[in-house]
């Protein structure tokens, strides 16, 4: 009984020393509440630091903007035969024959046209920085001028700022839309030589029929045209953390000499050991190793820190009768 009394007194002092930095912080924040509200007889309470709450949300963002792709349908042509005069009709005289000369004539065999070429859209890849984890303030252990008071370890808590973390996303944005380039195709001609009457015959006229030549000419059937195809935008889903509530001080029920026993301490040490946190010897006595293991467990599981709360006991699967 005397040993258990010394242990419970040690727990009480250690708890008070652990809470001292938090109480000073509460005073700085203007919190003048010295006693917990709605307290129940037989229970101990401590003002603990409740960590900020975060939730994971997903958000859909544009990866590549919508655009248009242009498809060119080429013009359709056909070759046709045309009869052209290569020697005109003439009149020939018996007495004085006619004289002739050869001349050249330009004949259009392929008219001028316009050729269309598609120019594909151009994209740029840009980076966009988003917040992966917002900035926050957290309590961390610190060192004071004295590490021990009468052989009992005390703890100093420091409130520090943790900067926000960011992550960079890549997405494609439209730099230049698709366009159509027009190319002028000139007409094609063929030089035809023909014989014409330079001087007609005299006295007696003799009719000489005209002569013809059949040539192939390219004619437009259907002009070139364009078809536009819509390229839909591409989207992607990202995940980020959003703060639901800030870190705050709160009165919560805790274990102390009133409701703490050596058996309960051993259960706590065993539970910490099972979950991978070394509490030191499982001896039913809360020492520095047990308190460090407890603080690491609370930090990892986002639990209130600054005392052995019932929330922590529940997370350790420990029930107090």
> What are the pLDDT tens digits along the chain (321 aa)?
333 334 433 443 334 334 333 433 443 444 436 788 888 777 788 888 888 777 788 888 887 888 888 888 898 888 888 888 878 888 777 788 888 888 888 888 888 888 888 888 888 888 888 887 888 887 776 565 544 444 555 566 677 788 888 888 887 888 788 888 888 888 888 888 888 888 888 787 888 888 888 888 888 888 988 888 888 988 888 887 777 777 888 888 887 776 778 888 999 999 999 999 999 999 988 889 999 999 999 999 999 888 888 889 999 998 876
Total number of domains in the chain: 2
Domain boundary among 169, 189, 223: 223
Closest CA to 49 of 148, 149, 158, 164: 158
Instruction: Examine residue 236 and state whether it is found in any structural domain, yes or no.
Output: no
Instruction: Examine residue 278 and state whether it is found in any structural domain, yes or no.
Output: yes
251 and 316 both lie in a single domain: yes
186 and 113 both lie in a single domain: yes
252 and 314 both lie in a single domain: yes
189 and 320 both lie in a single domain: no
94 and 215 both lie in a single domain: yes
User: What strands, in cross-sheet order, belong to the sheet with 122-133?
Assistant: 122-133, 165-176, 53-64, 234-245
186 and 315 both lie in a single domain: no
Looking at residue 156, what is its pLDDT? 64
Token pair for 268: 């706590």
Sign (positive or negative) of CA dihedral 25, 30, 34, 36: negative
Looking at residue 292, what is its pLDDT? 93
110 and 182 both lie in a single domain: yes
Looking at residue 155, what is its pLDDT? 63
81 and 214 both lie in a single domain: yes
Range of the domain at 304: 1-51+247-321
3-class SS string, the chain: CHHHHHHHHHHHHHHHHHHHHHHHHHHHCCCCCCCCCCCCCCCEEEEEEECCEEEEEEEEEEEECCEEEEEEECCEEEEEEEEEEEECCEEECCCECCEEEEEEEEEEEECCEEEEEEECCEEEEEEEEEEEECCEEEEEEECCCCCEECCEECCEEEEEEECCEEEEEEEEEEEECCEEEEEEECCEEEEEEEEEEEECCECCCEEECCEEEEEEEEEEEECCEEEEEEECCEEEEEEEEEEEECCEEEEEEECCCCCCCHHHHHHHHHHHHHCCCCCCCCCCCCCHHHHHHHHHHHHHCCCCECCCEHHHHHHCCCCCC
100 and 45 both lie in a single domain: no
Instruction: Examine residue 14 and state whether it is found in any structural domain, yes or no.
Output: yes
Closest CA to 136 of 165, 177, 114: 165
216 and 80 both lie in a single domain: yes
Looking at residue 297, what is its pLDDT? 94
Is this model's pTM higher than 0.85 or not?
A: no
263 φ, ψ (degrees, to nearest 5): -65, -40
Q: Are 306 and 25 in contact (CB under 8 A)?
A: no
Q: Which residues contact 314 (CB under 8 A, 6 or more apart)?
A: none
93 and 217 both lie in a single domain: yes
How many other CB atoms sit within 10 Å of the CB of residue 142? 12
217 and 258 both lie in a single domain: no
Looking at residue 295, what is its pLDDT? 92
Closest CA to 67 of 174, 172, 171: 174
Looking at residue 21, what is its pLDDT? 38
């Amino acid at each position: 009984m005397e040993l258990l009394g010394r242990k419970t007194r040690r727990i009480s002092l250690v708890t008070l020393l652990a809470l001292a930095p938090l109480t000073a912080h509460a005073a700085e924040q203007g919190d003048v509440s010295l006693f917990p509200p709605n307290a129940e007889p037989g229970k101990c309470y401590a003002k603990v630091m409740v960590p900020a709450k975060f939730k994971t949300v997903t958000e859909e963002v544009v990866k590549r903007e919508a655009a248009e792709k242009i498809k060119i349908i080429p013009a359709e042509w056909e070759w046709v035969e045309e009869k052209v005069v290569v020697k005109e009709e003439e009149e020939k005289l018996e007495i004085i024959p006619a004289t002739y000369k050869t001349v050249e004539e330009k004949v259009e065999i392929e008219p001028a046209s316009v050729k269309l070429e598609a120019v594909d859209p151009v994209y740029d890849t840009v980076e966009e920085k988003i917040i992966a984890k917002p900035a926050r303030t957290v309590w961390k252990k610190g060192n004071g001028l004295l590490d021990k008071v009468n052989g009992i370890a005390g703890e100093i808590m420091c409130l520090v700022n943790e900067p926000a973390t960011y992550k960079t996303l890549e997405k494609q944005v439209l730099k230049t839309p698709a366009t159509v380039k027009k190319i002028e195709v000139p007409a094609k001609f063929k030089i035809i030589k023909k014989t014409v009457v330079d001087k007609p015959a005299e006295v007696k006229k003799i009719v000489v029929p005209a002569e013809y030549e059949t040539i192939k000419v390219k004619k437009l059937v259907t002009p070139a045209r364009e078809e536009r195809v819509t390229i839909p935008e591409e989207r992607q889903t990202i995940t980020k953390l959003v703060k639901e509530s800030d870190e705050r001080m709160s009165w919560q029920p805790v274990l102390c000499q009133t409701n703490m026993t050596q058996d309960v301490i051993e259960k706590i040490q065993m539970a910490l050991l099972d979950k991978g946190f070394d509490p030191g010897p499982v001896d039913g006595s809360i020492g520095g190793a047990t308190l460090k293991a407890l603080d690491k467990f609370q930090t990892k599981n986002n639990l209130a820190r600054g005392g052995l709360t019932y929330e922590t006991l529940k997370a350790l699967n420990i029930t107090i009768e």
